[in-house]
Amino acid sequence: MSGAGRPPPRAPGRGPAGRGGPSEAGRGPARAAGERPAAAPPRPLDDAELERLQALLEAVPAPLEPLDATMLDGFLCGVLVQPRPVPESAWFPHVLDAESGRPARPGYDAAPLRALVRRRHAELDAAIEARRWFDPWVFEPEADDEAPGPTRAPAADDGLAGLAGLADEDGSEAHGADGAPPEVQAVYPWVAGCVTALDLFPGVMALTGPALDEALVLLYRHLDPEDLEDADAILETIETLEPAEDLATAVEELVRATLLLADIGRPQRRPPAAPATARRRPRPGRPPR
């Protein structure tokens, strides 16, 4: 990604605890003898770590074509909604080389990048398992910026159908003709990453039905219809929808689509309580270089 941008703000509730010890009411029930303590929740990446992640992605040596931070986020969500857990050995190569998963040249040390990606994977996994809101890594374009997009997303004719969000050669935007505000195009890299994972790991896509179509509508509405194969019914539904009114609405739809896919691919034994609706603004700016 080009251009300087501000990384995401810290999530609420991550500041230092207040002075003084916890009250009795806040301690929760005592653990039974021999019971394992609950695992600590994954620690979200802070601003500096997100900058480091983006820098490490950009430093992946050629000829590999890595995901960028926004595409990576969607990709991990597509990996995490599968009916069977996808081993890291299968998905991580596509972080380094989106389409083919080619190995890096000898001497390249992927360990620092892998450690940060694992953290985000764990954070998203916990949120998806609990069916709770998470903040997609979608960055609100700055006023003087062009529409954001990946440095190089695999095109549909490269073998990954449904990827979109790139500009035409003349600089005009390839999408947005549905009437959605230009800012909504900021979700394209995220959707492209998610669809990449769904294409590479098609387990959840094999579970056809109305519920799957409902989730795909929320994703595919941001893609070029010409890049979609065998999706006539979904396209007909998309044509009946009003465009997303703003970027915040589009981002909410990404979370909703992810959790709908999780309900299909990794259903819970007991229906969870209805999550509180949250309307959060997308992250300001674009990821740092």
pLDDT in the model for residue 285: 57
DSSP 22-52: PPGGGS-PPPPTTPPPPPPPPPPP-HHHHHH
Identify which of 153, 172, 138 has the alpha carbon closest to the alpha carbon of residue 252: 138
Question: Phi and psi (nearest 5°) for 283?
Answer: -65, 140
Give residue 234's pLDDT band: very low, low, confident or very high (50, 70, 90). confident
Report how far apart, in Å, the C-alpha atoms of 184 and of each of 1, 60, 252 are: 17, 29, 12
pLDDT digits (tens, 9 = 90+) for 143-160: 655 444 433 333 333 434
pLDDT higher than 50, residue 127: yes
C-alpha dist (Å) from residue 120 to 109, 127, 156, 202: 19, 11, 27, 22
Mean per-residue pLDDT for 223-227?
A: 80
- Listed in sequence order, the DSSP H helices in the chain are 47-58, 69-80, 88-96, 111-130, 188-200, 210-220, 232-239, 247-265
Q: What are phi and psi of 281, to 5 degrees?
A: -75, 145
Residue 183: predicted pLDDT: 85
pLDDT score at 140? 82
CA 45 to mean position of chain CA atoms: 14
Residue 118 — pLDDT band, cuts 50, 70, 90? very high
Question: Looking at residue 152, what is its pLDDT?
Answer: 31
pLDDT exceeds 60 at position 278 = no
No. of helices (H) and no. of strands (E), the chain: 8, 2
Q: According to the model, what pLDDT value does residue 170 have?
A: 35
What residues contact residue 197 under an 8 Å CB cut-off, 6+ apart?
74, 75, 76, 77, 78, 79, 91, 94
Encode 16-50: b = buried (16+ Cβ within 10 Å), e = exposed: eeeeeeeeeeeeeeeeeeeeeeeeeebebbeeebb
Percentage above 90 pLDDT, the chain: 51
pLDDT value at residue 286: 55
pLDDT score, position 159 = 38
Per-residue pLDDT at 219: 94
Asked if 250 and 244 touch (Cβ cutoff 8 Å), the reply is: yes
For the cut 50, the answer to whether the pLDDT of residue 182 exceeds it is yes
pLDDT at 265 over 90: yes
Bridge partners (DSSP) of residue 284 are 140
Which SS3 state, helix, strand or coil, does residue 188 take? helix
Q: Does 37 have pLDDT greater than 80? A: no
Beta bridge partners of 173: 167
Count of beta carbons in the 10 Å neighbourhood of residue 227 = 17
